[in-house]
Structure 1
Amino acid sequence: MITLKEGDKAPAFSARDQNGRKVSLGEFKGKKVVLYFYPEDDTPTCTVQACNLRDNYGLLKKNGFEVLGVSPNDEKSHKKFETKFDLPFTLLADPGHAIINKYGVWGEKQMFGNKYMGVHRTTFVINEKGFISKIFLRPKNKQHAEEIVELSR
């Protein structure tokens, strides 16, 4: 599970977004980044979280944040999710779990008494210098953008 701590250097990565464009963390040097990990496109809780970030995207941008979502879904799935919910931010495809593993968000989960492996919903706020300034282990999905702005001040 997560071994990264607030104050650690954010691990570098690159992946393809929902449009097939290669995106790397290095592109955002000098900017604050909300890097949020979620289990799957177009599922109830993931949709609530994404729509909260969408509905408050102006607030996040006003406070200097760029938003990057990461899940194990592929580019095609991300494109459908983006289009269906009019998401204004980048979704990174990580089917090989390269980024997910670097950030330590893959692990055992439990639902209805069944154990399985999956992505733990986690958000990392990365500062302008590339260091992790805040980690949300249990994001408030319906108020996630607000908590990011409030707790990242």
Structure 2
Amino acid sequence: MRLFTALYFLLMIVTLPARADAPEDLGPAVGTNIAALIKAPDQNGKPRAFADLVGEKGAVVVFFRSAKWCPYCQLQLIDLNLHAETMASDMGYNIVGVSYDTEDNLATFTKKWQVNYPLLSDEGSRIINEMGILNDEFRPGHYAYGVPHPLIAITDKSGNIRAKLHEKAYRDRPQIEAIFEAIKGLN
């Protein structure tokens, strides 16, 4: 309980000004294949590609701002961790997180919260740029330069986007129930 109380106060204190909302239709269109884009080292420094990350039926690719400093992302990643095994074993979808964070920052977060799914380090924001989800509110030199607008892309086994989930404001994230419903709607 103390953990959630501390996170709540962190949310109230540590936030960026909410200036730029996400576009209405964020990222590539449904039907676009993103398998070739999803290629980066994970939190352990291991090079990863979509083919070794995807589950039996597909992947839930979560683009988030930062596991180091974004409390909304941290809560989302922790919540996803609670459901990762169910999503993989019962639904056939593996969760994969993607951020501009360094491998070390992702490793620290993973260890602290015992995250059981891969977090990819997109340093330089190559994937984020190619997905068209770069938050251009921040300029080079700003610590948040390179962050994406948060997006969840649900793909099939081949990497075709079958559904996208996002909220207009970065402080809001699709709830786990919405992810489950989107997956159920695909089957």
TM-score, with structure 1 as normaliser: 0.85
Pair 86,41 (structure 1): closer, same or farther in 2 beyond 3 Å: same
Q: Which residue of 1 aligns with 2:63?
A: 37
Q: Deviations over 1:105-141 (max 9, x none)?
A: 102349xxxxx85320111001123210011122963
Q: Which residue of 2 aligns with 1:125?
A: 154
Measured in 1, the distance between the counterparts of 2:33 and 2:100 equals 23
Q: Deviations over 1:21-62 (max 9, x none)?
A: 110013338541011111111421011100110111232112
Whose RCO is larger (CA < 8 A, sep 6+)?
1
What secondary structure sits across from 2:75 in the alignment? helix
Q: Detail structure 1 runs of 4+ shifted over 4 Å in the superposition.
A: none
Measured in 1, the distance between the counterparts of 2:133 and 2:174 equals 21
Letter in 1 for 2:59: V
Structure having the larger proportion of residues in strand: 1
Q: Deviations over 1:80-100 (max 9, x none)?
A: 010111111000001111111
Please tell me whether the aligned partners of residues 11 and 102 of structure 1 are also in contact (alpha carbons under 8 angstroms). no
From 68, 74, 93, give the equivalent of 1:65: 93
Q: Aligned runs of 1:24-103 on 2, under 5 Å?
A: 24-27=49-52, 28=54, 31-42=57-68, 43-61=70-88, 62-103=90-131
TM-score, with structure 2 as normaliser: 0.70
Letter in 2 for 1:57: A
Aligned length: 147
Letter in 2 for 1:151: A
Pair 69,104 (structure 1): closer, same or farther in 2 beyond 3 Å: same
Instruction: Name the % identity.
Output: 24
Measured in 1, the distance between the counterparts of 2:155 and 2:83 equals 18
Measured in 1, the distance between the counterparts of 2:27 and 2:150 equals 15
From 137, 141, 147, give the equivalent of 2:173: 141
Structure 2 unmatched ranges of 5 or more: 1-22, 139-143
- Cα RMSD between the aligned structures? 2.3
Structure 1 unmatched ranges of 5 or more: 111-115
From 18, 26, 45, give the equivalent of 2:43: 18
Larger radius of gyration: 2
